[in-house]
Structure 1
Amino acid sequence: MLEVVCFGDSITARNEGYPTPILTYKLSLKMKDYKFINAGVSGNTTEQAMQRFNKDVLARCPDIVTILFGANDSSLHKFVELESFKQNINEFTKKIGPLKTILITPAPVDESLQPNRSNERLQQYAQAVKEVSGETGSHFIDFFHVLYSEPNYRELLIGEKDDGLHFGEAGYEILTSLIAQKLQEIHIDKKIPKSAE
């Protein structure tokens, strides 16, 4: 069974009414041949995540790692400079190995509910993630633009908190479908070994 570590902030860690974090819960239902491990910590920037990276990710020797940060790095109250953010994502990717890494751009926000975050700035952080993927040859999911291009994207951002940042069921359905599709593509490309029967 292939192990996938989902590494991130509250978007990765949130339960949203489920018994365990909704991201890995839904992924486990969609992909029975994989074991999903949640390594999300609410409030984390990439700087903070760097301090737990070895223990929470590398020590587990996973087959694949999803990396989803940016919501906190780009915020006014936890700000991590764009260049530092990009370097951190790059370092995570190189240590895991690009072929085992799926980089995911941060989601847009409802700016009317999020005074500390703007979609203009989140788009810059999403672009930085895309650049790291291009430079390293890692796998990539442009979650920001998939969600932002939906005419009702603000409705998709409504979750238990209804704060314009922590989305609920609809947003996670889109995100987990994108991850599941990417994992299938990776398998078909035979870039990771199939698990031994």
Structure 2
Amino acid sequence: MLASLNLSNGTETKAAIRKVTVLFGDSNTAGSNWVANHYYSSAKWANRLLQTRPVFNAGVGGNSTGMARQRFTRDVLNKNPKTVIIMFGTNDAQIMNSNSLPRTSKANFNKNVRYFVDSLRARKINVILMTALPVIEGGKGHYYSRNREALYKPYGGAREWHDSYNDITRTIARQKGVPLIDTYRIFLQYAGGNTDQALTDSGLYDPSGIHMSMYGADVLYQTVQKTLELKRM
């Protein structure tokens, strides 16, 4: 199954293009980890949505909101979408080993997400915001195997630090009156706890501790689909 529609083909009617749902995010939107884990492409949450609506997957692995802003016009606005679902934060919140600073400051993350929302709403485009997943901090191959644990200790650990970026997304959703899918809290609820062990045992993650498994993608798909139906988007 294709991950997106080819909207550059001039044969599509303008009416059809206006029905498209654009998924704008990073690797957990793109499903960048699917090939390495030998997952079925059809199990991506983006591809599951294709069963009921035209979808353009504008997820790019490794993207922060600053990087995504540079392609926002091309990958989102130029698709003339009906609805845009936005999920960023994992890469923005990463504290760099080289300078001990986050890739995106909270102030800039706030500005970027507000820019996306305001630009879309000005064009009468539906917006849904999503929080980023809770990361699995310790253990083989997980977050601290690639990032310095000491940098996150002042903030209560990487999971809490990442959730402080989610708090910005939550605030924007509330202030702008747009729907929010709180992926972070949904995954904690499914895991039954806010611990590495609970998240690991949940089956929601692949071995990296920051990407969804096929089961995790199914949980997210079910939530997204229900939200789209409820909001009639």
TM bucket, shorter chain: 0.7 to 0.9
Structure with bigger gyration radius: 2
The runs of at least 4 aligned residues of structure 1 exceeding 4 Å deviation read none
RMSD, aligned CA: 1.8
The 3-state SS of whatever aligns with 1:72 is: coil
CA contact (8 A) 1:108 1:122 kept: yes
Equivalent pair of 2:134/2:188 in contact (CA under 8 Å)? yes
Q: Do structure 1's residue 110 and structure 2's residue 136 form an aligned pair?
A: yes
Say which is worse superposed, 177-186 or 17-26, in terms of deviation: 17-26
Alignment of 1:122-137 (within 5 A): 122-137=162-177
Cα-to-partner distance string for 1:49-84 (whole Å, 9 max, x where unaligned): 000000000000100000000010001136211121
Counterpart CA distance in 2 for 1:123 and 1:25 is 27
> Counterparts in 2 of 1:16-27, with a 5 A limit?
16=34, 17-19=39-41, 22-27=44-49
Contact 1:9 1:44 in 2 (8 A): yes
Q: Which runs of 5+ in 1 are unaligned?
A: 193-197
| TM-score, normalised by the number of residues in structure 2 | 0.74
Look up the match of 1:38: 57
* CA contact 1:123–1:144 (8 Å) conserved in 2: yes
Residue 142 of structure 1 pairs with residue 195 of structure 2? no
What does residue range 22-171 of structure 1 map to in structure 2 within 5 Å?
Answer: 22-29=44-51, 32=52, 34-77=53-96, 79-97=103-121, 100-112=126-138, 113-115=142-144, 116=147, 118-149=158-189, 150-151=191-192, 152-154=198-200, 155-159=202-206, 162-171=207-216
Contact 1:6 1:39 in 2 (8 A): yes
TM-score by length of 1: 0.86
Gaps of 5+ in 2: 1-15, 97-101, 153-157, 193-197
Please give the secondary structure, in 2, of the residue aligned with 1:156: coil
The separation in 2 between residues aligned to 1:3 and 1:61, in whole angstroms, is 8
Q: Is the 8 A contact 1:74 1:80 kept in 2?
A: yes
Question: 1:114: how far off?
Answer: 0.2
Displacement, 1:170?
Answer: 1.2
Aligned to 2:228: 183
